[in-house]
């Protein structure tokens, strides 16, 4: 279980991401070292063959990994993605995708996560992407525009 | 120079991606083995600190790499991303980002690209992401929903 | 269980790699969709701080992933690494490392694996590397030099 | 140009790597933000088809990238590979391979490099690998065994 204050912080990250609202992503669950999000298909999320765009799949799993990692970072910190690598192993074709990230190693500076994305089509879930990600914990800044 | 028919095909891919319309991406240039796209900032593209979301940066450069690779693929084929890896090397902070992909090696089945993304802020362009990508050429399908 | 002929083929790959002999790698197990190798430390395998060199760790897990993938490829084929990505998540410090690769998705052309490497020191195993790999099945050639 | 003390430090890293001696790697050049190494073929460096093993290619370019990055790190620090991703884009077939790494971005904690490996065969150099790497600067430890 994560603490109430950590829960508030990770929700603030998710809610603070315009990109999650644009996509229409929903939180399935967030807990210590893990986060799971889902996203319904619509045309604006597609690539040319009508599947979820690889970039949309990447955005959802990058955020799931980032939130998972953030649950293990000190309060008052912010999380940035250093890098990630994603294999699109099957067309992301279906009514929705579900992306789950989990922490593999959480260090003082860097946190490593892995993630999986499943495409759900007619009640069948197919693994469609695998991700490996490096996150960095940084001091939180007050945003200025 | 790419042929008129190849130009029409690559435009059809770009235009056929709902995700590019959702983001608001524009084509800067497409030519043999390269593609460059740009995208203006707005709140829906942000992560929690007000930068372009890593996933949005990834989506734009994945597509730029994919279109670059596609210019070298046989007519009648379609392009899918096998995998990519991206380093977010500076905050993608600014009025717009510009993503350019170029083909490093184009084979019969697989094509390898690299890409760069620059964030433009107050007239200064900062390299904010580096990508390395593997694409596969597949037979084009008629889309069915 | 893999077939006797597949077992012979995968052993031929391992034995045919001068690099495995140079390192001194041993097979722990090979089965359908998985392979596990180990390697004792000696000075020639080190980086500057006395840990196993990241490249040595990479070589062992690349081969474990490749052999795992090869067990799912058609007989008469050969396996090549298209690409891999490895996170070195802890110093590979100890008497030996154990690298295990497993197939996540095996397709007609491409096979995706993941791998883990553990460093064993004084009886304690520490996860020191995570890998994600893309393999390609190619027609086997008679080697000519 | 790097300073004499930095030159001494980077040579100490190269010389301190048993793996470089085992491979038989030679320094072609090291300068500010770049390093280039080469390696002659012999059977112990091979994979099953008689090419340089992907892991050997990876080891050489990982070290080239690491030394390139190290030239930009503060004196008294040590360099560790956080992660790298490599595409093997052509068989590494020939008399020797030449691996060059260059710094793309050098930060206080993390340094990002890219690298290329060329295989030289009968006087022709072929690009055979592309790498993207994240390094971390850590306080140097006195080695204890």
Cross-strand partners of A124: A121
Alpha-carbon distance A121 to nearest alpha carbon in chain D (angstroms): 32
Is residue B123 a part of any domain in this protein? Answer: yes
Query: Does pLDDT of B32 surpass 60?
Result: yes
- Counted across chains A and B, CB pairs separated by less than 8 A come out at 133
Is residue B144 a part of any domain in this protein? Answer: no
CA distance D42 to D83: 28
Q: In chain A, what residues touch D136 (CB-CB under 8 Å)?
A: 109-110
Q: What average pLDDT does chain B have?
A: 95
Task: Determine contact: C89 vs chain A, CB below 8 A.
Answer: yes
Query: Does pLDDT of B139 surpass 50?
Result: yes
Please, which pLDDT band fits residue B76 given cuts at 50, 70 and 90?
Answer: confident
**Which residue among B89, B105, B127 places its CB closest to the CB of D127?**
B105
Is residue D144 a part of any domain in this protein? Answer: no
Is residue B145 a part of any domain in this protein? Answer: no
Is residue D38 a part of any domain in this protein? Answer: yes
pLDDT at A144: 46
Does the beta-carbon distance from A112 to C87 stay under 8 Å? Answer: yes
Distances (CA, A) of C20 to B45, C24, C62: 48, 6, 11
Task: Determine contact: B87 vs chain A, CB below 8 A.
Answer: yes
pLDDT at D142: 58
Is residue A14 a part of any domain in this protein? Answer: yes
Please, which pLDDT band fits residue B144 given cuts at 50, 70 and 90?
Answer: very low
Is residue C44 a part of any domain in this protein? Answer: yes
Please, which pLDDT band fits residue A142 given cuts at 50, 70 and 90?
Answer: low
Crossing angle (nearest 10°) for helices A54-70 and A4-16? 160
Please, which pLDDT band fits residue B142 given cuts at 50, 70 and 90?
Answer: low
| Mutate which: C15, C46, C48, vs D, most D CBs within 10 A | C48
Task: Determine contact: C134 vs chain A, CB below 8 A.
Answer: yes
Query: Does pLDDT of C65 surpass 60?
Result: yes
Q: In chain A, what residues touch B113 (CB-CB under 8 Å)?
A: none
Query: Does pLDDT of A141 surpass 80?
Result: no
Q: In terms of CA atoms, which chain A residue is nearest residue C106?
A: A89
Beta strands in chain C (DSSP E): 26-31, 34-40, 77-88, 96-106, 110-121, 124-139
Alpha-carbon distance C143 to nearest alpha carbon in chain A (angstroms): 31
Segment C126-145 mean pLDDT: 85
Alpha-carbon distance B21 to nearest alpha carbon in chain D (angstroms): 30
Cross-strand partners of A31: A34
Query: Does pLDDT of D144 surpass 70?
Result: no
| Mutate which: B61, B89, B110, B133, vs D, most D CBs within 10 A | B89
Give the residue numbers spanning the domain of D14.
Answer: 4-139
Count of domains forming chain B: 1
Tokens encoding A10 = 């990770």
Does the beta-carbon distance from A130 to C104 stay under 8 Å? Answer: yes
Residue carrying the six token digits 């793309």: D104
Segment C93-104 mean pLDDT: 98
CA distance D56 to D71: 23
A129-143, B45-59, C114-128, D86-100: the lowest-pLDDT one = A129-143
| pLDDT tens sequence across B80-91 | 999 999 999 999
Does the beta-carbon distance from D134 to A136 stay under 8 Å? Answer: no
CATH number of the domain encompassing residue C29: 3.10.129.10
Segment D42-53 mean pLDDT: 95
pLDDT at C142: 58
Length of chain A: 145
Find the angle CA(B110)-CA(B115)-CA(B120) to the nearest 5 degrees.
160
| pLDDT tens sequence across A61-120 | 999 999 999 999 998 899 999 999 999 999 999 999 999 999 999 999 999 999 999 999
| Mutate which: D18, D46, D50, vs C, most C CBs within 10 A | D18
Length of chain C: 145
CB atoms within 10 A of CB A5: 8
Is residue B80 a part of any domain in this protein? Answer: yes
pLDDT at C115: 98
| pLDDT tens sequence across A7-60 | 999 999 999 999 999 999 999 999 999 999 999 999 999 999 999 999 999 999
| CA nearest neighbour of B118 among B88, B79, B75 | B88
Task: Determine contact: D87 vs chain A, CB below 8 A.
Answer: no
**pTM across the whole model:** 0.95
């Amino acid at each position: 279980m994560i603490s109430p204050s950590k829960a508030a912080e990770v929700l603030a990250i998710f809610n603070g991401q315009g990109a999650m609202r644009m996509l229409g992503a929903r939180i399935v669950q967030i807990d210590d070292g893990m986060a799971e999000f889902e996203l319904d298909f619509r045309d604006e999320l597609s690539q040319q063959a009508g599947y979820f765009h690889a970039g949309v799949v990447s955005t959802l799993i990058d955020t799931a990994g980032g939130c998972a990692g953030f649950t293990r970072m000190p309060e008052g910190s912010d999380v940035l993605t250093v890098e990630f690598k994603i294999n699109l192993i099957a067309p992301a074709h279906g009514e929705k995708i579900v992306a789950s990230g989990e922490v593999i190693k959480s260090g003082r500076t860097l946190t490593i996560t892995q993630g999986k994305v499943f495409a759900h089509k007619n009640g069948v879930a197919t693994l469609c992407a695998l991700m490996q990600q490096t996150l960095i914990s940084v001091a939180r800044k007050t945003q200025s525009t």
